[in-house]
């Protein structure tokens, strides 16, 4: 079922890519231009998605006929949500680093992520402060990356 849905998603993406590519201008000296490769890639998505979905049809038919759930185990919602934690932390960093500063945002992120894996409070606090300050100083001082200072600017 998973591959069947993914196949459909690829087919839909292929249609969108081809549609967007058709809006690009053509070149005077050639019959094709910037739209050629994206259109071919869109075609690739369509064909590949079709193959992926069609291959699943007999399996789905058998499952439907015998009324068995097959490999369709219930979705592990808790595990899926937990796997999104790093993404949430990145979004948190993007939204807060300008006014909190890179070091503070990173420290909060490390602290929360460590607690989520049941690390002790003291260890989480120590590692988050040490690691975020080390990373901040390596990149801002040694590699001269203009990381957002935020609250750090009041520190000195």
Q: For binding to another protein (CB under 8 A), which residues are involved?
A: 2-3, 6, 10, 17, 20-21, 24-25, 27, 29-34, 37-38, 41, 44-45, 48-49, 51-52, 55, 76, 79-80, 82-87, 89-91, 93-94, 102, 106, 109-110, 113-114, 116-119, 123, 127-128, 131-132, 135, 139, 143-147
As a three-state string, the secondary structure of 43-111 is HHHHHHHHHHHHHHHHHHHHHHHHCCCCCCCCCCHHHHHHHCHHHHHHHHHHHHHHHHCHHHHHHHHHH
Q: How far is the CB of 117 from another protein (least distance, A)?
A: 4
Question: Which tokens belong to 57?
Answer: 């049809």
Name the residue nearer to another protein (CB basis): 59 or 119: 119
Q: Which is nearer to another protein, 65 or 92 (CB)?
A: 92
CA distance 131 to 102: 12
Nearer Cβ to another protein, position 29 or 66? 29
């Amino acid at each position: 079922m998973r591959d069947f849905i993914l196949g459909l998603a690829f087919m839909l993406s292929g249609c969108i890519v081809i549609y967007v590519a058709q809006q690009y201008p053509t070149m005077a000296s050639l019959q094709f231009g910037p739209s050629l490769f994206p259109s071919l890639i869109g075609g690739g998505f369509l064909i590949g998605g079709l193959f992926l979905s069609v291959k699943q049809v007999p399996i789905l038919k058998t499952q439907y006929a015998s009324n068995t759930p097959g490999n369709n185990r219930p979705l592990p919602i808790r595990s899926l949500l937990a796997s999104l934690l790093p993404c949430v932390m990145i979004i948190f960093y993007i939204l807060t680093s300008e006014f909190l500063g890179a070091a503070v945002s990173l420290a909060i992120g490390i602290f929360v992520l460590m607690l989520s894996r049941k690390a002790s409070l003291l260890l989480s606090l120590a590692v988050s402060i040490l690691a975020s300050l080390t990373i901040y100083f390596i990149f801002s001082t040694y590699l001269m990356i203009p990381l957002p200072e935020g609250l750090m600017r009041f520190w000195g």
